[in-house]
Structure formats: structure tokens, C-alpha cells
Structure 1
Amino acid sequence: MLVSIDWLKDYVNTQNETAEELAEKVTRAGIEVDAVIDRSEGLKKLVIGYVEECGKHPEADKLSLCQVNVGEETLQIICGAPNIGQGQKVVVALPGARLPGGVKIKKAKLRGEVSNGMICSHQELGIEGKVVPKAYADGIYVLPEDAPIGADAIEYLNLNDHVLELGLTPNRADAMSMLGVAYEVGAILSEDVKLPEITYEEANETVESKLKLRVEAPEDNPLYIAKVVKNIEVKESPAWLQQRLMAAGVRPLNNVVDVTNFVLMEYGQPLHAFDYDDLKTGEIVVRRAKDGETITTLDDAERKLAPHNLVITNGQEPVALAGVMGGANSEVSTKTTTVVIESAYFAPASVRQTSKDQGLRSDASSRYEKGIDPNRVEPAAERAAQLLAELAGGEVLAGSVVVDSLDRTERTVAVSPDFINERLGMKIPFEDMIQILRRLKFETEAANNQLIINVPTRRQDIQIEEDVVEEIARLYGYDEIPATLPETESSPGGLTPYQEKRRLVRRYMESAGLLQAVTYSLTSEKSAQQFALNATETTKLLMPMSEERSVLRQSLIPHLLEAVTYNTARQNDSVALYETGSVFLKSDGELPEEQEHLAAAITGMWLNNSWQGEKKPVDFFVLKGIVEGLAAKLGSELTFQKGQLDGLHPGRTADILFNGERIGVIGQVHPSEQKQRDLKETYVLELNLHKLLVLEPAPLVFEPVSRFPSISRDIALVLGKDTQAATIESIIRNAGGRLLKDVTVFDVYEGKNMEPGKKSVAFSLTYFDPEKTLTDEEVAAAHDKVLKALAEAGAEQRS
């Protein structure tokens, strides 16, 4: 909601407040002011000029040479606007003037002719193009004939104004109007609100002689008021009205439409003006649409209606979507001489449904949906009639045609002062509470230690005792509420062991060079079970926002791969991401089981020290090393075995085992999956982090550094191509006894001089005794046991 302070002053006294001070007070009272807009910012030395002569530039067909009277002198100004012409009143930026954006106007020579200033358009004055009248959208701003030559244009156009941009919450629909904001500001500043005085002369002819009204859906339209104004002249609105609408973010069109928009912004009551002659029947019938019925709305879109959509008709065909938008078949035009003013109360649910069905939101529908003040429906119609009489020369027919079954009873809320103070945790004097409620214009009586409050219909958000507490608290001042600590037994805060280990995991992953990602827990049906360690039945949302966010995920990998694709598409070729988060697996209960998982995805270069010529692309063993390092950090021992998972490369995938149980997977994304996601070689891992974090780590055991050396033996074994090195390593460790301290693979060979289906795997074995220096005989005895066990397993030593 945009609120012009200059316009606001018509209703409430704000003379003692600067725009910034008023914005601060409104924000502290509970309505956030997002911005304070100075409409004159950057404007300087602008006057009203009169174009005495206008001819073609001798050297440029698209430029005009103008002689402009600016009061004290006549200046030659060159103008390129297509709508410039002799006899116009225009806004002139004199030499030395400034325009928004830091533009400074100087004397200039264009194609050999001197230009002493600039004739301005709306946009050059800092007015947004979307609110500029269509007649001036592509040209200069032509002022009314009575604009005083030489006068300050900034003051004449009310540009020396400030606009407050309010960030309204849905419950404060009352502040979606100037009068609503005036009541709010009046309560804050302890000022009275002055309502518009509505007086006009009625014609002898009555409205009943020209118009009939029937409402066939009173539950959706309990109140409908129509007035008729004849002999109007549709023309451009006066400058003051145009400027107020533009300050409120509304584009001026013509005096009739501008009046309805002005009253909408003033009262918060949507109005609509029909061309009486285009109604053809002299009748208005409000009903629900017929099945298959259509209407062309003012935006020139043909819309198919549903039977529950409420429409305004002429008794034969729809002429408006009730509360949303008028129809093109009854639009006010320059030929219009008689208009019907509609002011009505439409049920919020009905308007919301129609707006949603048609994908069409308007200023009117947004107010109807939140609820309008039923006691402003009639005054708004009268105000529009008054303005049409003043600005369009119309004659208002006597009376109105009305259908009324609307309950306008004010809600009564009773609350005790003790209840208010208990909720706020402070002692607000009873007299202050009464004063605050009266500043809000709430009729209040005190009886039996209760405040009996009649809530005005404009404040439909006040329904229960707590709402009254909020009103008193915000106007008394949230800053006045004392700060207290809870009175209870307390213990010092801290992280649980589980939380500490989770943070340790995150620090380790980041120290390893990965960046943390946070992705959605909701995904599509297609991606929900992809890469899942333990796929179960999916959990679907009852009311999803979209198909892409309709199912709870069972793996973190799909969204991480989406993030990798997003980055590589933007020329970030080397990406390393990790995430800790929950997956959701169907269980026997109503709710799914949440498991905390760790996942990672890496692609591109792992090392790239170009000055040393050292490059290392990511591979399986980079990610495996990260997992092993994490296990060491957590004091856990993980093992790996060949694995398989849909979406991963069958020859480069391993299961991660913990105490013999599969808790994770690591591998390369399958080439076909990589191609589909537009990725190069990419590796991923996912493991059940919860399994690791819930275990108590084994106590640390410190051993003294031994004074005795170790002895190494290397063996090369010929194995079947499908034999896993981990299997052979396990045999070696079991046979090596207490002296065997370490086994590592340092070479794998396949190729020349190897039998088909065979490979050579070389192991380095380290023998060590912490209590003495080993002899060759002791090492040989232990090593022979290893060789014997390998021979029994079918492993041959390579000669």
C-alpha cells in the first residue's frame, strides 16, 4: 500500500511530523514501513512553460524547435517528443536544473541550433512508466490550460510529497485505504480523523425510473447499491487527481474511471462504473454464471465461467465478474454520457474462488478477499456521485437502487484489565487502556472490572480478547514492555553429544574442501526413490505446492546432483558439495521415519596447481579417502565391498559397511545418468549418518612411541580378475598374527605377460613388535603363514 502524506493530510493532522518520523512511529506501532519515497528527490529548477511557437528543426525531421515562455523570458528549446505542439503548457527544466538519476540540464547545441533547457515527460520527472497516463506514455507531459506560466512545477504537481510504502500483513485489510491509514495515524498521534464531506444536488429524476435491480444470489451478494449519473463528459482528470492516483501507484485513465479508483484508494471500497447505454436493458441482475457462459473482461481476455462464479448481468448476458473485473461490453468510453455506479459487498470466499478460477487478481479482488467494511459501501457510492458531479459535470439522479440483507452489527469484545496485564507481563494503568481504545475510535465502557468494547466494522481483525491485548500493547509501545527472564529452574545450555558430532562431521567435510549445500526435503515422484539406500513406499503430501515438490525424499543425492548441474552450467567446472539432512522412509506408523544422512557429490579437478604442473581430477579414491578420514575422526571403522545401485556405474561402486551392516554407498554416477544431467565424470556418496553418530566412541588409548624398527615385505599375487583386493587383504590380516601391523595395496597390473582373466595385485606387509627388535627368523615364520594361507585361497605368487 502506497500512502501519499500530502493526501493523508486531508484526513488527519500530521503537520508536526516529518515523513521519516511518521514512518518510524507507524512501524513501531505494528505496520512496517518498507520505504519512504521522496517524490521530489533529484528535482530542481523546474517551471511551467508555455509553448508560443513550435516548428520543425531545420536539420532534423524528428526534432521540434520551440519558443517557450517560462515567465520572465522566452527560451528556445529543442524537443524530440512526438506530441509537442504550439499552445501547450509544459514542464520545463531550465539550464542548471537537476532530474532524477543525477541528470544535470545544460545549454546545448543540437544540429546547429541552441537549446536552453528541456521539456519534460512524466518519466523524466521520476514517475514510473506503468502509472503514466497512456496519452503521455511516449511523449511530454501536457499540463491543463489554467497552469500558471513561470510557477514552480514541483509545487504545482504536488511532487514535493513523500510516499510511505506499507508492508501490510493479511489481517490489516483496514489499512488498505487512505481513511484506514488515517485512523491508524490518528491513533498513533492522538489526532482526530476528518471524513470527507459529501454534498451534491440531486436531479428531479429518480434512479428507479432508469434502473432496476435484482440479486439472485444474496448469500454471495448481501448488499448491492447502484446510482445513476447522467449528462457526464468523459475527459482527462484534473492534475491533482492524476497526481494522487500516480502517487498511489494507479494509472489515470479518464475522469470517470479515475473517480472510482480514487474512492477505492480513499475508502477501500471497490466501485465499478458501467456505461448505462451499453447495458441496453436498464436492468442489473446479480446471479451465478450459467455453465459454459463466457465474458470478455476489460483486459480483452475471453473467459469461460464456472457455475459457482458470481457475475453482474444486464438480465441477459454478463457485464462484469463480481468483485474482480468489469466486462468490455459495458466499458466507459469517450462516448459515454450516463454511468451506473456499482458499490457492493461481495462475500470474500466467492471473490477469491472467481479470482483463482480465472487467474485474475485486481485491486478490487484483493480487498474483497480480505473483507471490506460493510458500513462504507453506501458512503463510497455517494462520494463517487459527488466527484462525478464536480469533475464530469454530471447530474446525479435522486436516490439509489438497493438490495440489502447485510448484517452490519458491530462485534462486542469484553476483556478485563488484569487479563491484558497478565498477557503482557506489565502494569498498564486502566486509564491508559481506556485512552488507547478511544484513540483507536473503539467505543468502550467499563463495567464489572471489564472493558466492553464495540469494535467498528472497519476493524474485522479484532475478534477475541487477545486481539485487544495486541492493540493496547502496540499503541502503548512494544518498547515499554519490560524484559524479563523465565522464572524456572535452568541449566546452562550446550550441545548434546550427537549435535557435537554432527558439527564435527560438517567441519571435517569443509576442511576436506567440500561446500555445504541445503536442498529441499520435497521432491518429485520420479526423483523420490532415486539413489535411495533403502527404498520404501513414498510419502506424498495431501496439498502439494507443485508436482516437483509433492513427495518426501528418500535420498539426498538427486538434489545435490541438480546443484552440481546448476553450477557446471555456469562454468564452475570443479564442484564439491556435501549435505547433512533427513530422508523420510515409510514405517508402520502414520508418519514416516526420519533418518539423518550425509551425502556428497564431486566433479572436475581435485588438485590443479598449474605453476607446478600438478593436476588431479576427482575419482573414486578421492571420495573413498574422505569417507575413511571421516570414520577416523568419529572413531569408527568402516569397510568397503563391491556394490551395485541403480544410477551408479556398476564397476565403480562400493557399499560402505559398518559392523557388517550396509550403511552407505559410494561410486561414480552412471554415464547415461551423467549425460542426462549434462555432467562430466561425477562421484557421489551417501551414508546413514545417524548410525555413526549415535554410537559412543571407544576410549582413546595412548601408546608410547616405540624404540624398535619395523620390517616390510612385499608380495605380488596373481589373482582372478574378479577377485577383490579386500578379500585377499582380509586373509593376510587373519594369517599374519600379532606381528602384522599393516597391509596396503601399492600396485595392480593387467596386460602383457598376464594370462587372460588374471591380474597382479601387489601388497606391502609391515611387521612390528613394540617390545623388541624382530629377527629375520621371526618375520619369516609369520610371513610363511601368510603365504600358506594365500596359497590355500588360490592366490599364486608372481615370479
Structure 2
Amino acid sequence: MAYNWDSMKVSLNIVKSLVNFELPPVDELVARVNAQLGSVEKVIDLGAQYKDARIVHVVQCEPHPNADRLHVCLIDDGGAVANIPRDDKGYVQVVCGAPNVHADMWAVWLPPNSTVPASFADAEPFVLGARKLRGVLSQGMLAAADELAIGTDHDGIVEISGRDMPKGVVLQAGDSFAQVFGLDDVVLDIENKMFTHRPDCFGQLGVAREISGIFGQAFTSPDWYTVAQKFADGSGLKLNVYNDIPDLVPRFMAVAVKNVTVQPSPLWLQCQLVAMGGKPINNIVDATNYIMLMTAQPTHAYDYDKLRGGKLGARMAREGETIALLNGKTYTLGTDDIVIADGERAVALGGIMGGADTEVSSDTNNVVLECASFDMYAVRKTAMRHGVFTDALSRFNKGQSPLQNAPVLKRLMGMIGGEQASEVHDKKQFSDEFDEYFAGKYTPANIDINSSFINQRLGLQLTDSDIYTLLNNVEVHSHGPEDKLGYTCVQVPFWRTDIELKEDVVEEVGRLYDFSKLPRELPQRSTKPAPKNPRRELKRQIREQLSRAGANEALTYSFVHEHILKRAEQHADQAYKLSNALSPDLQYYRLSVLPSLLDKVHANIKAGHDEFCLFEIGKGHDVRLPHSEDGLPSERTFVDAVYAAKKARASAPYYQVQRIAVRLLGSLGAQFELIPMAAENDDGKELSGVEFEVAAPFDRQRSAWILCGKERLGIVGEFKQAVRRNFKLPEYAAGFSINFDQLLAQPRDEQAYRPLSRFPSTSRDVSLRAPRDVSYAELYHVVQAAVDESAGDITVTIEPRAIFQPANDHSIKTTTFRLRMTHYERTLTDADAKPIVDRVATMALAKLGAECV
């Protein structure tokens, strides 16, 4: 079926037949639909297109005297068309070349000065006149289906019989073709993205219901759509139905019908399809399309005799399986594609398009009717993967309710004729009645809500009765409980799969009331500020502190090339690989942020930046981490930084980057200590696999763990020679990696503001000569402990100044610390500083054998 799946065409004649009130003028109707339902892109006046077409009776048909293939016809139009030459009986002469023209037939006549409907929208429409054909005057023409734009047949003119007439209408010469067959119509072309959350509005029935609601009128769905369905038994054709994927196909119904006759549909049905934007094909296919356009539920018909094994069901496609679809193309499928299959092969792409191998044709005698529901996300992905977009897909990927399948299938069975030849198979995983487990997913929800909840959010003062009326008008049944508990019970109908929450009910009441009528005032809310988000607040503080330290924030992709991981000596098999990468250079989720920053260092050095520090707050993923509760890969957030300089500085790169990391953590109030990584086993086996990947770029002999209690908060240190070589780093480079999530979870001291002292500070340098195997960290901890014991109300900061090792004696080294002492109430003297320095010297000697020199 050819159909514009980008829009929804709504026939106002069909809407009129479904509602119980007179529609307003078209302009007013369009304005209200635009405001309260969906965006009308175009108003199509079918009545103007078909206004001149007349139903006529061919009373005489004689061969043309000068042409073998032409006939001269006399037609009876009941005198409906004025100013036309007629014979003495009032008949009009028309020359016709159609092979099927004959006397005593009923046809469609386009008189002179009328526009051929098929050319109505052309830049230069074809306007008929009275002209001679091979010497015989013809008054207009008898029209074929393609000329009337109701089909593609041009082999003969349209022949009307009693079967073609709408119920209760008889053939009468001169009647308006448009009025008899419902083409005196106005069609609203509504942009379908407006209905993304409203699957019911992809059918005429749903739109008619909404139009009633926005005009304050009660709508009642046809009985065949809402009553419980009972199906008769049938026999004669073997049909085995299965559903291997109930999670993706929540309902799969099928029935075999025998002794069908495939022929053109009655003309009334063909014309209704045209009004709804479709094109007639044959009575079986037309019935499936008519049902879909009316109810928004796609169905499909298969030639039973072309199905293998008497089987039909839903399953996932096999890898590499192929299928030829009705669009004439063959597709290679994968295991993520839903297919409808017989006993041997796929015969349809589930929810999208049928297969060519089981197509209903003029030779078809037996059919299988299928009415199923599909997971909207699965069919959407399949359509995007294969580039197949259809009118069925445009409905299924909005989330059709499986509770409408039974009435739709029964209605379809009644339209195609034939005899039921099997039971009606119904494969589903829920009950037709309210099922709490599936409520809101497959079965409708019940929502308890009170009027104050609605009024507070809309700024209105609607009574319970007002709310009941607005909702009941669109068959969202609402009523208060008998024992007056103070709330309204909203019973959501099965076709409203979009209503799940109280807020959905509020939106529905507001829309039906008309949002433009809501008072223009803000709802009353507390002015108390919302609490700060701890995660965002910590990120803000980190950015501020690192920026103050002179670092520049970088934003890199979370995706990296495999060679970036390998250069950092991380293992690509531990990273998630993307099946739909943005580019060949972005194939993997990174394991940590640091490799992305290392990759940017060389480019900045080449750009002329001699000394810089880059940092980033980003995410890493590792396949070994357990998935989150919703089944998604776990994420870890890192604060990573790289310091680089072309020329050597006063202290080693480790101390440069350590200073930045310590300043950052100190400003955040984190309690931590630095422990050299070299103190652990060199092979790193004590690390978990996940920690190993984070630590992989660092040189274990020149790096330290940042510990918070017994937990590893991060790493600070210099990089391995191989890593520096791989990324073309300068000799003077180091970095750190801090686990943001662990930092957020750790208790931190509140950092209260303290003004600078008004009194000058005093400094003392303390040089400690110690054995070579005494580490700097050990010396620092002893100095810190001595200061804590002796400083009292004096604030002391400890800064490393130098480490000296004599050229002629490698057994010792001298480490110099600067003690900066400050008091907030007085100026310090030598008498204040001496006890602190003495205590440092005493403890260093006692604990480490370090002599103060």
C-alpha cells in the first residue's frame, strides 16, 4: 500500500460518521485541532477535486464509424449537467475508447469544463472540453480509475454495480459521484510527530474521539471495538501458530480462512481508502489497510497455500537469513530482527512489511490473517538498520496496545468473506482483563487522583464533576468512590498507553480544557532554595581548585581508538567495543580518562606550550565491573590530570604534580595519605584487574597511592618510559588519577573560611641527614608528627626544599624542609620557633636515625 507515513490523513466525512454532533466550520475545526491535538500541515478539499464527476447510465454503445477501438455512447445523466447538447431523449453523446464499455452499464462521467481529478494538484490541471474524436463530437469523457485518482487501472473505465454502493444507497443517473462515495470530503493532513506519544491517534477512530473531546462532546466507540470478543471454531485448514519471543511480541493472533475470492474492492471502500490517504489494491489487502487506517492497528494477510508446513509464528531471524519483501528488495537479516516465519523460512519482517513469497494474489484461494503487537523499540531499530519505513511501522513504533488485536481481527474476518477454517490462535502473556502485573505496559492502569492535585498544577478551580466530564468525553472513565474517600478513580482505556502517572492525567485534563485558557500566573511554590547536588557541587569545587592551580580543563571523547589503550599499556579486551562507532578512530569506551589526556600532550608541546597541566572529569567503563540494576554497564568517574614541561624544573615532575593533587584534596577536606607504590610487590598482582588498568601507565618506582583509610582513592606519579615514548611525552611529565565516586563517598572536613593573619610569618629550614634507604615520605611523616605535637596554637606548613646526596658518599642523603610558622594574634619570635625545630630534630633522630645538620 502506498501511504505517506510522515503524516496522518484524517477524513472529516469519516469523523462525522463516528461522532454524534455537527462539526464546526473547517477553519474553526483546524484552529482547535492545532491548539489541542496536533499540527495540521495541510487542508485537502477532496470535494473540489471531484465536484464535477457524475454517475451516469450508458444507454447505448455503438462502434465508432471511423475508428476500430472507439465507441460512441449515449449516456443518461438525469439532466444533472446544464448547458450540454442532448438528443431528443435528453441523452449526452460521449466517445469512449475503453474496451470494457458497453450498453446498460453504470460509469463515471467527467463533463466538459471539468478537471480530471488525477491532475487536480498539477501546476497545469487537465481541463476537459467538447471535441471531435475522428469526426464524432464527444462531450467530456467516461473516466478510468487512474484518471479519478482512486487506483492505477487504465485498461478500462470504472464500472459501477450494486456491490460498489454504500449501504442503503441505490444507483441513480446524475448523482454526484463525490457525494455518493464520500469524496465530497475535507481531509486534514496532520504531521505525525505530533502523535508520537499517542498511538491511538494514528487511526480515524482515535482522532474522532479526540475531536469530540476538545469540543466538549461525549464520544462512544463502536461496539465491535470495545466489547469482549468471542470467536467461533473453524476447520478445514491446518494451522500451527507459535510465538517464541513473547517479550518482543506480546500478542500474536492468527486464523485461517478458506474459499476467499480475490477481486477489486467495492468502490465505496476504494474511495474511503483514498480519503484516508491510501490506494486500493485488492479486496483482501484493502480490508487490512482499511482496518489499520481506522483503528491504527496494522494487520497482514498471507496466502495460506504458500506457507510451508501449515505453520506461522514469531521468532528472531537467524544470522544471515534473507527475505524478499513486498517492495521488491531482498534483505539480509541478523539476530536482532523480529520475523514472522512459517515452518521453514521468514515470510515477513515483523511489524514492518510482508514478504513477497506469501503475497496474496489473484490466484489466492485461502489466506491466513495475522494481527500482532510488537515492541516499538525493536521494530524501530530494525527499520533503521535496513532502511525500511512503512505505514505499519509508523504505528507499531508508537506502542500500539495489544488489547485491541481481538476486535480488530474479528472485524477484518467479517470484511474479507470466505469461511473460517481454523481456530483463532491467540499467543499472549497477559489477561484481557485488568492485570496488575502488566498494568501500564499491556493492560491499562487505574490511577487514583484528587481534584486538588489537578487544580494546583493547572491553576484552575475545576470541580470533580468538571474533571469527570472532560475525561469521560474521551472515554477515560472517571468517577469518585462511593464511600467518598476524597479522590477520583481514573480507569485508563486500553488504547491510551500514554497515561500511566498522575501527571499524565493532569496533562490530559489541561489539554481537553484548553491550555490557552489557563490563568497566566505561576503556581505558588516555596521560595526555599533547592538543596545543592553533592555530585555537581564537588565537580565545581574540583574545577575551581585545579583552575587556581593553573591547570586547564580538557573535554575529550569517551570513545578512543584501540591504539590509545595499548599506548597506555591498558588491555583493549577489557573495554567495551562499539558496534556502531562514530568513526574508525572511536571504537572503544575508554577504561580511564588518563590515556585521552596523554594523547593531547604532544600536540600542545608542538603548539609551543612549554609548561602546562591538563585535567578532565570524565567516565570510564570496564567490562569486568558488574552491570547496574537497569542492566547497563557500570560507569566510574575519574578526575585525571597530566603535567608536562619541555625543560626541567627545580623539583622532579612527581613533586610538581603531587603538589597539585595534595592542594586539591586538601582544599576539599579529604583525609588521605600518600604511600609509595614501590612498597608493594613489583609485579602488581595484588591489584584487582580493574585497578591494574588504571595504574598501568604509571611507573611503580616513581608513583604513590593516594589512600583514604584502607581504600585506594587514586594514584599520583610519573609515567613508564614505554608510555612516555608511545605518547611522545617530554622527559618532564607526570600525572594523577583520582576516583571521583570514592572521593564523593568519603567523609570530608568542612573548609571554613579563615582570613589571613595580620601578623608576619617566620620560616625555618630543617635539614635532616638520613640513610639512603629512608624515604622522603617517612621523613615527611615524622616531621608532621613532631609539628603536631609541638606547634600548639601556631599554624605550621611544611614544604620540601631540596634533597642532596654527596657525590662521594651514596649511603646518605640530606632532605631539607621549610617550616613556615604563623600566629593569628601576635608576632612570633625565635623562642616560639625553637621548640618546634628541636622537636623535629629529636623525633627524626629517634625514629629514623636522621641527624639535623
Assess same fold via TM > 0.5. Answer: yes
Contact residue 290 and residue 307 of structure 1 kept, 8 A: yes
| 1:298 Cα deviation from its structure 2 partner | 1.1
Partner deviation per Cα, 1:715-771 (whole Å, 9 max, x = no partner): xxxxxxxxxxxxxxxxxxxxxxxxxxxxxxxxxxxxxxxxxxxxxxxxxxxxxxxxx
Q: How many residues align?
A: 501
Q: CA deviation at 1:301?
A: 1.1
Segments of 5+ residues of structure 1 without an aligned counterpart are: 489-535, 551-585, 592-799
- TM-score between both structures, scaled by the size of structure 1: 0.57
Change in CA separation of 1:87 and 1:297 when aligned onto 2, cut-off 3 Å = farther
Name 2:152's counterpart in structure 1.
134
CA displacement at 1:265 relative to structure 2: 1.2
Q: Is contact 1:4-1:163 (8 Å) kept?
A: yes
Q: Which residue of 1 aligns with 2:772?
A: none
Aligned partner of 1:290 in structure 2 is 318
Measure the CA separation in 2 of the matches of 1:248 and 1:215.
32
1:608-627 alignment runs, 5 A limit: none
Work out whether residues 186 and 193 of structure 1, in 8 Å CA contact, stay in contact via their aligned partners in 2: no
State how 1:570-585 maps to structure 2 within 5 Å. none
Which residue of structure 2 aligns with residue 33 of structure 1? 40
Letter in 1 for 2:429: S
For residues 76 and 357 of structure 1, the distance between their equivalents in structure 2, rounded to whole angstroms, comes to 57
Question: Any conservation in 2 of the 1:234–1:333 contact (CA below 8 Å)?
Answer: yes
Instruction: Supply the distance in 1 between the matched residues of 2:278 and 2:581 (Cα, whole angstroms).
Output: 31
From 12, 24, 27, the counterpart of 2:31: 24
Amino acid at match of 2:143: C
Q: Displacement of 1:84 after TM fit? A: 5.6
Distance 2:204 2:10 in 1: 7
User: Counterpart of 2:628?
Assistant: none
Q: 1:195 aligns with which of 217, 222, 230?
A: 222
- Secondary structure at the counterpart of residue 134 of structure 1: coil
| Cα separation, partners in 2 of 1:587 and 1:46, compared to 1, 3 Å | farther
Deviation at 1:225, TM superposition (A): 0.9
Q: Distance in 1 between matches of 2:519 and 2:363?
A: 65
| Equivalent residue, structure 2, for 1:479 | 516
Instruction: Flag the 1:195–1:42 CA change in 2: closer, same or farther, 3 A.
Output: closer
Please list the CA deviations of residues 48-98 of structure 1 after superposition, one character each: whole Å capped at 9, or x if unmatched: 234456567666778654443434533322346677666653211234546
* 2:382 pairs with 1:365: no
Is the alpha carbon distance of 1:228 and 1:487 closer, same or farther for their aligned partners in structure 2, counting shifts above 3 Å?
A: closer
What is the rounded CA distance, in whole Å, between the counterparts of 2:103 and 2:307 in structure 1?
40
Matches within 5 A, 1:147-162: 147-162=171-186
1:268 alignment partner, one of 296, 311, 334: 296
**How far 1:23 moved relative to its partner?**
2.8
Aligned equivalent of 1:682? none
- Asked if the contact 2:23–2:29 (Cα under 8 Å) also holds between the matched residues in 1, the reply is no
What is the CA–CA distance in structure 1 between the aligned matches of 2:234 and 2:52, rounded to whole Å? 52
**Partner in structure 1 of residue 94 of structure 2:** 77
Identity percentage of aligned residues: 32
Distance 1:69 1:472 in 2: 56
For the residue of structure 2 that corresponds to 1:135, the secondary structure is coil
Conserved 8 A contact 1:203-1:397: no
AA partner of residue 90 (structure 1): A
Question: Within 2, Cα distance between the matches of 1:153 and 1:587?
Answer: 77
CA contact (8 A) 2:62 2:72 kept: yes
Q: Compared with structure 1, are the counterparts of its residues 333 and 104 closer, same or farther at alpha carbon in structure 2 (3 Å cutoff)?
A: closer
Per-residue CA deviations over 1:242-270 (Å, capped at 9, x if unaligned) read: 01111111111111111111111122111
Q: 1:195 is aligned with what amino acid?
A: P
CA-atom RMSD in angstroms: 3.8
Deviation at 1:133, TM superposition (A): 2.1
The one-letter amino acid paired with 2:312 is I
2:127 paired with 1:90: no
1:213-242 CA distances to partner (integer Å, 9 max, x unpaired)?
A: 122222112211111211111111001110
**2:245 maps to 1:217:** yes
Query: In the alignment, does 2:448 pair up with 1:411?
Result: no
Matching of residues 649-798 of structure 1 within 5 Å: none
2:479 matches 1:461: no
Q: Is the 8 A contact 2:471 2:478 kept in 1?
A: yes
1:362 to partner: Cα distance: 1.2
2:333 is the counterpart of 1:312: no
SS in 1 for 2:178: helix
CA gap of 1:487–1:279, structure 2 versus 1, over 3 A, is closer
Q: Determine the C-alpha separation between the residues in 2 that align with 1:122 and 1:21.
A: 34
Question: How is 1:114-193 mapped onto 2 (pairs within 5 angstroms)?
Answer: 114-122=137-145, 124-125=147-148, 127=149, 132-136=150-154, 140-144=157-161, 147-168=171-192, 169=194, 170-189=196-215, 190-193=217-220
TM-score (normalised: structure 2): 0.53
Residue of 38, 50, 55 corresponding to 1:48: 55
- Residue 478 of structure 2 contacts residue 489 of structure 2 at CA under 8 Å; is this kept in 1? yes
Contact 2:444 2:496 in 1 (8 A): no
Specify the SS of the correspondent of 1:353: helix
Q: Secondary structure at the match of 2:331?
A: strand
What amino acid is aligned across from residue 106 of structure 2 in structure 1?
Answer: K
What is the one-letter code of the residue matched to 1:186? S
List per-residue Cα deviations over 1:512-535 (Å, max 9, x = no partner).
xxxxxxxxxxxxxxxxxxxxxxxx
Question: Which whole-Å deviations, capped at 9, do the CAs of 1:82-116 have from their partners, x for residues lacking one?
Answer: 77666653211234546647765443334533122
Contact in 2 for aligned 1:47/1:91 (Cα 8 Å): yes
Distance 2:113 2:301 in 1: 46
Q: Distance in 2 between matches of 1:427 and 1:203?
A: 48
Q: In the TM superposition, what are the counterparts of 1:426-441 in structure 2 within 5 Å? A: 426-441=460-475
Paired residue type of 2:188 = L
After TM superposition, give the deviation of residue 541 of structure 1 in Å: 9.5
User: Residue 227 of structure 1: SS of its match in structure 2?
Assistant: strand
Deviation at 1:122, TM superposition (A): 4.9
Query: Is the alpha carbon distance of 1:451 and 1:44 closer, same or farther for their aligned partners in structure 2, counting shifts above 3 Å?
Result: closer
Larger deviation: 163-172 or 78-87? 78-87
Match of 2:508, SS? helix
2:795 corresponds in structure 1 to none
SS in 1 for 2:246: coil
> Structure 1 residues 453, 120: closer, same or farther in 2, change over 3 A?
same
**Cα deviations by residue, 1:160-199 (Å, 9 ceiling, x for unpaired):** 1221222342112210012211221232341332415489
The structure whose residues are more often strand, as a share, is 1
Does residue 30 of structure 2 align to residue 13 of structure 1? no
Q: Provide Cα deviations, 1:115-156, integer angstroms capped at 9, x if missing partner.
A: 22222345655x4xxxx42324x7644433665433322222
Cα gap change, 1:166/1:454 in structure 2, threshold over 3 Å: closer, same or farther? same
Q: Secondary structure at the match of 1:349?
A: helix
Contact 1:296–1:327 (8 Å) recurs in 2: yes
Matched, 1:350 2:378: yes
SS of alignment partner, residue 397 of structure 2 = helix
Partner of 1:414, secondary structure, is: strand
Contact 1:417 1:451 in 2 (8 A): yes
**Any conservation in 2 of the 1:322–1:346 contact (CA below 8 Å)?**
yes
C-alpha distance 54-358 of structure 1, shift in aligned 2 (>3 A): farther
Question: Which secondary structure does the structure 1 equivalent of 2:268 belong to?
Answer: helix
Residues 103 and 380 of structure 1: is their aligned pair in 2 closer, same or farther, counting only changes over 3 Å? same
CA contact (8 A) 2:214 2:513 kept: no
Query: Would you say 1:248 and 2:276 are equivalent positions?
Result: yes
Structure 2 match to 1:396: 420
Alpha carbons of structure 1 residues 588 and 218: separation in structure 2 relative to 1, 3 Å = same
Which stretch of the first structure deviates more once superposed, 247-256 or 454-463?
Answer: 454-463
Q: Distance in 2 between matches of 1:53 and 1:195?
A: 45
Structure 2 SS opposite 1:10? helix
Query: What is the distance in 2 between the residues matched to 1:436 and 1:487?
Result: 25
CA distance in 1, matches of 2:46, 2:379: 35
Secondary structure, counterpart of 1:206 in structure 2 = coil
